[in-house]
A and B are shown apart, each in its own frame.
Chain A
Amino acid sequence: MNWLTNFVPPKIRALVRKADVPDNLWHKCPACGQMLFHRELEANLHVCHHCGHHLRIGARRRFAMLFDDATYHEIELPKTAADPLKFRDVKRYSDRLREAQGRHQADDAIKVAHGRLGGASAVVACFEFDFMGGSMGVAVGEALVAAARLAVLQQAPLVVVPASGGARMQEGILSLMQMARTTIAIEEVRAAGLPYLVVLADPTTGGVTASFAMLGDITVAEPGAVIGFAGARVIEETIREKLPEGFQRAEYLLEHGMVDMVVPRRELRQTLIRILDLLHRRQPPAEVLPPQPVLVGKEPAMPALPAAEDHPPER
C-alpha cells in the first residue's frame, strides 16, 4: 500500500490487481539459491534441477505424486479438543492454532488419503510441515490412529510420510503421549499382517522420530532430509563441539544403518510400489500388471500361494 493505491479508485484498482498474476512464479532453492521457475519445479517434483535439493512439499502435492493417476480420496479426520491445556506463551495456543488453520485451510498438521498405489489399495498419511512445524499433538496422533484403522479395514498397506519438528509443546504431556498412541496405531497394522512403510521427509525430528517414524517395516528417506532425535543446536550446546558434515542427513543415517534406502523423489513412487509388490502383494512386477486393479477387498491377488505365507511373522 502506498499513496497511489489509496488514490486510485477501486474500479481501476481492480483492473490492475496483482492477484491476476500468481506472485509465486519463481522459487528460490533454499540450498543453492538458484531461482526456479514454478512450472519446471512442479514438473521436477519440487526438486531443484540445479543442485538436486528436495524442497519441502505439502501433503496434497505428495498424495498426487504417489497415488496412481494422482487420484486419491482424503478422509475426514477425527475432531479433537483444540487447546486441551489452555496453553499460553507470548500468544494463546488457540490463537496460533486458529491462525495456522486459516492460513493453511486445514485442521492440523496431517492429512490422510486412500487410493491406489501400483494398482492396489493403500492408505497414505502425510505431514504438513508448514502447519506449526508439522508438530504432533492430539489431532495428529488421532489422525494416525484413524489412518491405521482405515488400512486394517481396507486390508491395505499403510505409508506414512512424516515431516515434523516433533511433539507439539503447546499440548504438553498430551503430545508426549502421542508417541505411545501412534505406536499402538501401527501395531494394529502389523497385527493385521499389513506392511507399514515410512518415507522420512525433511525434517523428521524429536518425538515423531522416536516413535512411529522409526518403526517402519521398511524405512525410506528422501535425499538430504534432516532426520534425528535431538536438535542440532541442543547437541552442540551439550557437547560444545561442531557437528560433523552431513550430520543427521538421510545419507548419514543410511551410512549408520538407520534407514533402508535413500530414494530420490522421482523414484519414490515406483520404489514404494516395488516394495509393496514384493513384500505383500506377491504380484508379478508392476510393469506387466493389467491396467485394472486386481486386489479387491481381502481377496489375495495370487490365490495359488499358500495363505500361511501371505503374511510372514514380524519378528
Chain B
Amino acid sequence: MRSFLDFEQPIAELESKIEELRHLPGAADINIADEVSKLQAKAERLLRQTYAKLTPWQKVLVARHPDRPHLTDYLAGLITDFTPLAGDRTFAEDRAIIGGLGRFRDTPVMVLGQEKGADTESRVRHNFGMAKPEGYRKARRLMELADRFGLPILTMVDTAGAYPGIGAEERGQAEAIARAIEAGLAVGVPFVSVIIGEGGSGGAIALATANRVLMLEHAVYSVISPEGCASILWRSGEHAQQAAEALKLTAQDLLRLGVADTIIPEPLGGAHRDHAATVATVGDAIASAFSSLAGMDGATLRLQRREKFLAIGQNGA
C-alpha cells in the first residue's frame, strides 16, 4: 500500500481507479486496456505537473515521506562490505546515527548518517533519526578515524533535528554537535555530504560541513522546522506553510544561496516512488563529487571547505 500525501489525492484517485480496472474480470478486454492506458497517461501527466511545481511546504512533506529511501537503503544499494561501527566510547551507542567502514564503488570509505527507520519498530530503535550527544560523538570519532587512515567521508543527512531531552542536555548535546562540526571542518580527506530527506538544523549541519554538499531535488535543509518557526514568529503552528516559504529551505533555494553545490534529480513523483532509481542516481552524484575532489591534498581539502563556508552569505545573495 503506497501512502499518499494530501496534495497527491487526485493522483491517488486515478491510480486506485487504474488498479480497480486492472482487477476487473474482463481486464484483458481491449476497451478496458485502452481505458487503463489512458488513465495511466493522465496520472503520469498529473504527477509530472504536481511535482514540477511543489510548494516549499509540499517539499517538506515529500522530504519527510515515510516511504522515502532512508540511509539503510543507500547503504544496501551503494556500499559493499559495510562494516558498522558502534559507540562513542564514553556513554552509549546511539542508533539514530549509523556509521561504519565500507566500499563505495570499490574505494574504502567512512560512511555515516541519520536513520529515521521505516516501520514502528525500527523508528523507535533509531529514535526517529534524532541523535543524542552520543550519536554526534560517534560521528566525530568516525570522522577522525577516517582522517587518520585517509579514508574519504560520505555522510547522509536525514533528521528532524537533534533530540531534545533531559539526558541529551545533561550530556552536552550542544558541545557534541559543536565538536562534530569542528571535526568535519578539520579532516584532511575528501568529504561529501548528501541531504537525502530532511536537514533539520544543528543536528543536520553536524554531519554536513563537507567539501561538497549535495541535495536531493525534494530534500529540505533549514535552521528550524517550518512548524517551529511558525509557532515562534506567527505564534501559531498553523502558519507552517508560510514559514516554509519564508525560510527558503528547498534544494533550489539552497543552490542559489551557495549552501548546496548540486541538486540530484528525483524520479517522477519523488524518491519514494522508485527507490532503486533514486539510489542509483545518488550513487552517480556521489561518485562525481568525489572525483571532483580527487588529487587535492589534505591541506587543500581543508582550505576548500573553509573557504566554501566562509563565502556563504557574502555575495548579498
- Determine the distance from Cα of A179 to Cα of B204 in the docked complex, in whole angstroms: 11
Number of A-B contacts (CB under 8 A): 172
What is the 8 Å Cβ interface bit string for chain A, positions 217-242, against chain B (1 contact, 0 not)? 00000000001111100110011010
Instruction: List residues of chain A with CB under 8 Å of any chain B CB.
Output: 80-81, 84-85, 87-90, 138, 141, 145, 167, 169-177, 179-181, 183-184, 187, 206-207, 209-215, 227-231, 234-235, 238-239, 241, 243-244, 247-248, 252, 256-258
B296 within 8 A of A: no
Given A85-B246, A210-B202, A181 contacting B310 (CB threshold 8 A): yes
Identify the 9 closest CB pairs spanning chains A and B, nearest first.
A230-B164, A209-B174, A81-B316, A89-B233, A229-B174, A210-B177, A176-B223, A214-B175, A229-B173
Do B259 and A230 touch (CB < 8 A)?
no
Chain B residues with CB below 8 A from A212, complex form: 178
Given contacts A81-B317, A173-B248, A173-B249, 13 further A-B contacts (CB under 8 A): A89-B243, A167-B201, A171-B223, A173-B254, A177-B259, A207-B201, A210-B173, A210-B175, A210-B202, A213-B178, A214-B178, A229-B202, A230-B169
Do B165 and A228 touch (CB < 8 A)?
no
Q: In the complex, which residue of chain A has the Cβ closest to the Cβ of B317? A: A84
Please tell me which one of the listed residues A80, A184, A239 contacts residue B309 in the complex, with CB atoms under 8 A apart: A184
B222 within 8 A of A: yes
Q: In the complex, which residue of chain B has the Cβ closest to the Cβ of A79? A: B316
What is the 8 Å Cβ interface bit string for chain B, positions 213-233, against chain A (1 contact, 0 not)? 000000001111000110011
Do B169 and A235 touch (CB < 8 A)?
yes
18 examples of A-B residue contacts, CB within 8 angstroms? A81-B313, A81-B317, A89-B234, A89-B242, A89-B243, A170-B246, A176-B222, A176-B223, A180-B181, A187-B182, A207-B202, A210-B181, A210-B202, A214-B172, A214-B175, A230-B168, A230-B169, A256-B171
Nearest CB of chain B from residue A107's CB, rounded to whole Å: 16
Chain B residues with CB below 8 A from A183, complex form: 178, 181-182, 185, 209
Chain B residues numbered 163-221 whose CB sits less than 8 Å from any CB in chain A? 163-166, 168-175, 177-179, 181-182, 185-186, 201-202, 204-206, 209, 221
Chain A residues with CB below 8 A from B171, complex form: 256
Chain B residues with CB below 8 A from A81, complex form: 313, 316-317
- Determine the distance from Cα of A257 to Cα of B171 in the docked complex, in whole angstroms: 8
- Determine the distance from Cα of A238 to Cα of B314 in the docked complex, in whole angstroms: 36
B92 within 8 A of A: no
B312 within 8 A of A: yes
Do B259 and A173 touch (CB < 8 A)?
yes
Chain A residues with CB below 8 A from B156, complex form: none
Instruction: List residues of chain B with CB under 8 Å of any chain A CB.
Output: 162-166, 168-175, 177-179, 181-182, 185-186, 201-202, 204-206, 209, 221-224, 228-229, 232-234, 239, 242-243, 246-249, 253-254, 257, 259, 306, 309-310, 312-314, 316-317
Please tell me which one of the listed residues A85, A180, A209, A215 contacts residue B205 in the complex, with CB atoms under 8 A apart: A180
Do A172 and B172 touch (CB < 8 A)?
no
Q: In the complex, which residue of chain A has the Cβ closest to the Cβ of B171? A: A256
Given A89-B242, A248-B169, A172 contacting B247 (CB threshold 8 A): yes
Do B248 and A229 touch (CB < 8 A)?
no
Chain A residues with CB below 8 A from B233, complex form: 89-90, 169-170
Please tell me which one of the listed residues A172, A215, A252 contacts residue B179 in the complex, with CB atoms under 8 A apart: A215
Chain B residues with CB below 8 A from A243, complex form: 166
Please tell me which one of the listed residues B175, B177, B223 contacts residue A172 in the complex, with CB atoms under 8 A apart: B223
Q: In the complex, which residue of chain A has the Cβ closest to the Cβ of B201? A: A176
Do B175 and A84 touch (CB < 8 A)?
no
- Determine the distance from Cα of A241 to Cα of B222 in the docked complex, in whole angstroms: 28
Nearest CB of chain A from residue B268's CB, rounded to whole Å: 27
Given A209-B174, A215-B178, A235 contacting B165 (CB threshold 8 A): yes
- Determine the distance from Cα of A177 to Cα of B308 in the docked complex, in whole angstroms: 11
- Determine the distance from Cα of A90 to Cα of B236 in the docked complex, in whole angstroms: 11
Chain B residues with CB below 8 A from A256, complex form: 170-172
Please tell me which one of the listed residues B165, B173, B181, B310 contacts residue A145 in the complex, with CB atoms under 8 A apart: B310
